[in-house]
Structure 1
């Protein structure tokens, strides 16, 4: 098993990399570095990144270990004459979570410019404005400029510039917690790498490919391509899943911090293969690996396009709980990441062609 300090370092590096949907090059560079000893990397034209395990052998079933590389963020839409930047969301945001935060804007020189997400100060609001819900169209990005010309010529910011939450990941050793951005799904990316590292040098009954797919946050687009490129027989989807332990009654909570990864039976776009799901849950129980089960009415993961590809690829989702996903800051427990990796590692040492066919 990967050393805990190495796992934490890997998560922090991948979390801190900047990459909204479609602009994920920096994330891929970190993943390539983190996985350099594990096998052969390939890339497609949508910037999906594939890591084929060095120990793969001819004639074995192929298992796809998926996680997505993009994060939610924003994009510059227009530059006002007064130097304020209008923007659009990339991925799902609740408007009330956006204002009064710092962001990074990638300019034409490849440099990041700090900016504040600003709205009209309360001092200048009418009573009606104070009582009205604040939407994104009422917010701007302020880099401190006084004119459009200054933004374009001095800050070198243009239309369609990607905008990333300005957050640096940190680890609280006293409580075994990570606080940072993009845990959906950079924790998943780190989990794929850690799983492959844990199995490095071992003889397996299956072949492995790490699938670091792009553009999940805008409609699982990358995995629509990656799953066809790979042609796997089985899939494990790692995801950073929204934790519910602070927002629902205790009896309803199914994605709690420090209770292990969540395996969802259903969401808006996938009914998990019940035979594969039960096999994974039974194995976790047998080995004492803590897991949680969930029934979700909304949301979706890359499992959606994967399980509809190739005649129907059996797929499970191993989700690490993330408090406050799709905001600037997520909170996750390393304990849950370790349990997710342990479950995947144990599964991959047991799954063979006969078991996969039974699903």
Structure 2
């Protein structure tokens, strides 16, 4: 499977927070017999994790979260509409009038649409106002509670995912799809580990597709305690900013390469690790862009505090319109990120890690 198909398949698969099973299954199918894989009870997927007492080399953990933002059914109205809550962070203005898929009790996805009020019934005073999510509903095309529950077999607690199919434009080399935060990181891990399978490294690479990042980075806590890495690289799909900031202020631009994060409110990157990555990028002519974030957070927030403090870095592929139904990413940024992570793995040693 080439990288383009890999990205598309990871984007298309369903997996909101707490319901990441399809993502793990896809990753296992792609990894095949290249590495041993296992899962834990929070549904983290581990690729090539070696028990601590059997290790002969330092461990570099590649982490990407497998969940995507979505919704969950909270209750069902007498007219069959679904009241819902958010899984992950959403802006109210991005939610209405989009298609979704609701998982029913038979394990089948039912098409629906997030309700919006037609302009014919909107007063001039309310025109242009953004509806609060608590006043929105999901409509699956039923007209009664009984039809929704008995015929469509939808119940309270059902996960809801955006109904989007990923496409790739060969001319622009852009993907348009859902869940790039953070399925693009999952794809990077699989690509890197498959490409380095027969490479003799001075470290052991362990890949983790961690769960429930969008609901508090929960899977990463469990995963880090299990893997106990010496260094962690968190692969992310961070928000792009080049569509609303000028060239000199933008630090998450499409086609500008892998994004290396110095800081966000939840973690300051290990500066010695940052300098090592800058050096690797320069020596290998890999395009990177550096960011100082005033908001946001990733699994790195939990990982870097475990095991006495783990040198951790966030490397991202910028996503336009992340945390919405649709997003754009650049294939060129993906390629630069894969090159960067491979170069780090090929050049890092125990002595270098000790210097961090």
Task: Tell whether the structures are fold-level matches, with TM greater than 0.5.
Answer: yes
Instruction: Give the one of 283, 301, 304 matched to 2:280.
Output: 283
1:319 equivalenced with 2:316 (yes/no): yes
Following the alignment from structure 1 to structure 2, what is the Cα–Cα distance between the partners of residues 136 and 126? 19
**How far off its partner does 1:98 sit?**
0.5
**1:42 and 2:38 equivalent?**
yes
The answer to whether residue 143 in structure 2 is matched with residue 146 in structure 1 is yes
Which residue does the alignment assign to 1:213?
Answer: 210
Which residue number corresponds to residue 231 of structure 2? 234
| CA shift digits 1:127-185 (9 cap, x unpaired) | 44335431111211111101000000111000011000000011101111111000000
8 Å CA contact 1:269–1:304 kept in 2: the answer is: yes
Corresponding residue of 1:162: 159
- Quote the offset at 1:59 in angstroms: 1.3
- Structure-2 residue corresponding to 1:190: 187
- Corresponding residue for residue 255 of structure 2: 258
Residue equivalent to 2:91: 94
Return the match for 1:69 from 66, 70, 87. Answer: 66
Could you say what secondary structure the match of 2:295 adopts? Answer: coil
In 1, the alpha carbon distance for the partners of 2:271 and 2:307 equals: 18
Shift of 1:53: 6.9
Deviation at 1:34, TM superposition (A): 1.0
What does residue 18 of structure 2 align with? 22
Of 126, 129, 144, the residue aligned with 2:126 is 129
**What secondary structure does 1:88 align onto?**
strand
Pair 1:332 & 2:317 matched: no
The alpha carbon displacement at 1:201 in A equals 0.5
Give how far 1:247 is off.
1.3
> What's the offset of the Cα at 1:36?
1.3
Shift of 1:296: 0.2
For the pair 1:11 / 2:7, whether they are aligned, the reply is yes
1:342 CA displacement: 0.4
Question: Pairwise CA RMSD of aligned residues?
Answer: 1.4
Asked if structure 2 preserves the Cα contact closer than 8 Å seen for 1:76 and 1:87, the reply is yes
Matches of 1:126 and 1:317, distance apart in 2: 47
Say whether the 8 Å CA contact 1:117–1:141 is kept in structure 2: yes
Rounded Cα–Cα distance in structure 1 between residues aligned with 2:290 and 2:302: 21
2:197 corresponds to which residue? 200
Conserved 8 A contact 2:49-2:227: no
Consecutive unaligned residues of structure 1, counting only runs of 5 or more, are: none
Give the conservation status (yes or no) of the 8 Å contact 1:38–1:53. Answer: no
- Structure 1: distance between partners of 2:137 and 2:26: 31
Match of 2:172 among 155, 171, 175: 175
TM-score of the aligned structures, taking structure 2 as reference length: 0.97
1:104 aligns with 2:104: no
Secondary structure of 1:250's aligned partner: coil
Structure 2 segments unaligned to the other structure (5+ residues): none
Secondary structure at 1:322's aligned position in 2?
coil
| TM-score normalised by structure 1 residue count | 0.96
